[in-house]
Amino acid sequence: MKKIFVPVLAIFMCVCLLTACGNTKTLNDTPLSEAMDKINAEVFGGTENMRVIDSLDKLELYYDIDPADVKEFAAEVAKNSATEIDEVILIKAVDEEAAKRVAEKLELRLQAQKDLCASYSAELLAVADKCSVRTQGGVLVSLIITEQYDTAIKICDDLLFG
């Protein structure tokens, strides 16, 4: 019995190790602005409908994110927030603890958008409901709200982790 059990256990442990290693993603050095540019081109059809959040002060004002937690960011929101909820926030935090704090703030933002949509637009609420805050590679936190959520996520994954 021991002669069968030990090799089976060893094989099982090797498979578990290989599977775990395959699921980890490492953030590459691609600037977040490149991902934002590609999302603008492929999802929003250009930047004319988006407002750029271009400073840490604005990031703190709109999202209550501590600038000390941010290493790099790219963020844009729809210019016409009365009829559109398109929003892309990509933040590379300084470390994993900062990423957790950033994710909490972005979760609050997503919930606020859902609450707002629930009061006036079932169509926009459906868009917001399919979106989420994601933390990847330990430090990359993103909130993407758009009807083409899957396309935007694929762009980010391909550019920032590919």
Inside any domain, residue 107: yes
* pLDDT for position 4: 59
The four Cα atoms 56, 148, 145, 162 give a dihedral, to 10 degrees, of -50
Return the sign of the alpha-carbon dihedral for residues 43, 83, 118, 57.
Answer: positive
* pLDDT for position 64: 97
- Domain span at residue 122 reads 26-161
Inside any domain, residue 14: no
* pLDDT for position 162: 78
* pLDDT for position 21: 44
pLDDT string in tens for the chain (162-residue length): 556 545 544 555 554 444 444 445 788 999 999 999 999 999 988 878 899 999 999 999 999 999 999 999 999 999 887 678 899 999 999 999 999 999 999 999 999 999 999 988 899 999 999 999 999 999 999 999 999 999 999 999 999 987
Q: For the chain, what is the largest distance between any 2 Cα atoms, rounded to a whole number of angstroms?
A: 70
- Beta-carbon contacts of 30 under 8 Å, excluding residues fewer than 6 positions away, are 159, 160
* pLDDT for position 17: 45
Measured CA to CA, the distance from residue 149 to residue 111 in angstroms comes to: 16
Inside any domain, residue 152: yes
What are residue 88's DSSP bridge partners? 76, 144
Inside any domain, residue 8: no
Inside any domain, residue 70: yes
Inside any domain, residue 71: yes
Inside any domain, residue 57: yes
Measured CA to CA, the distance from residue 142 to residue 65 in angstroms comes to: 13
Long-range contacts of 114-119 (CB under 8 A, 24+ apart): 116/85, 117/85
How many independent structural domains does the chain possess?
1
Inside any domain, residue 34: yes
